[in-house]
Chains A and B, each alone.
Chain A
Amino acid sequence: MLLCYDDEAFWERQGQDALHAAMQEAVQLTRELHAKGQYLLASPLHPVATASSVRVRDGKRHITDGPFAETREVLGGFYLLDVKDMDEAIEIAARHPGARHGGVEVRPVLEIQGLPKN
């Protein structure tokens, strides 16, 4: 799983056209990954202002507005990939446009049995 962290203020300064161009570059990357059989899923997320956080303590649900942790760079999107190894995942991470401004975290997925197929 690639977790793409962005500085939302940076993209606001760059303007809609730059953001749109970066998204198109990301879409092009997903198409290339799809053609190679490496693509499972990918999507950008709405801005972090739309986040909610949920905790359950002693059976009671606590809901707060905003993300789990306040950070300057925030999760802006993700990719789920099927790749040979970490090196291949890193290659792809480095091609994501967000890697040039924010950063991309690569996390191996733990494959557990029994999950539904979609």
Chain B
Amino acid sequence: MKYILLIYMNEGAMTPAEREACYGESTQLAHDLHASGKFISASPLHPVATAKSVRVREGKRFITDGPFAETHEALGGYYLIDAKDLDDAIAVAGRIPGARKGTVEIRPIYELTGLPEAGGVA
């Protein structure tokens, strides 16, 4: 079963040094997952200030700066994993450094047929 783990954190929660350490620990986790065949993709995102939101109403496009929903903690990155079950996904989520500062939301992927093969690595 595939899951996306969405990492929500207060963007000011880490110093630049802590952030570097977080990337190092996250990269190590990604390698551990890869070694056990559970890794699909993972990446941090640029700060939420770089977000744009797009809506189309009656054929007209509306583009706003910022995220779709303003939340105290913002989406800062994700892991896409192939886990045995929800418990396995929870175990992985608990190892993400962001889980210690923010929250990791686990969402099962709906396996839609007909999508193209993954085009590369993000």
Contact = CB atoms under 8 A, between A and B. Distances in A.
Given A56-B99, A68-B8, A100-B56, A51 B105 contact: yes
Contacts of B106: 51-54
A46 B106 CA distance: 11
Contacts of B112: 23, 27, 43-44
A17 to B, nearest CB: 16
Contact count band on A: 35 or more
A87 B48 CA distance: 17
Interface residues of B, number: 65
Contacts of A55: 99, 102-104
27 contacts: A1-B122, A27-B112, A33-B116, A34-B119, A37-B119, A45-B108, A50-B108, A53-B105, A54-B94, A68-B6, A68-B8, A68-B105, A75-B107, A80-B41, A80-B122, A90-B52, A100-B57, A103-B68, A104-B53, A106-B51, A109-B43, A109-B44, A112-B23, A115-B27, A116-B34, A116-B39, A118-B121
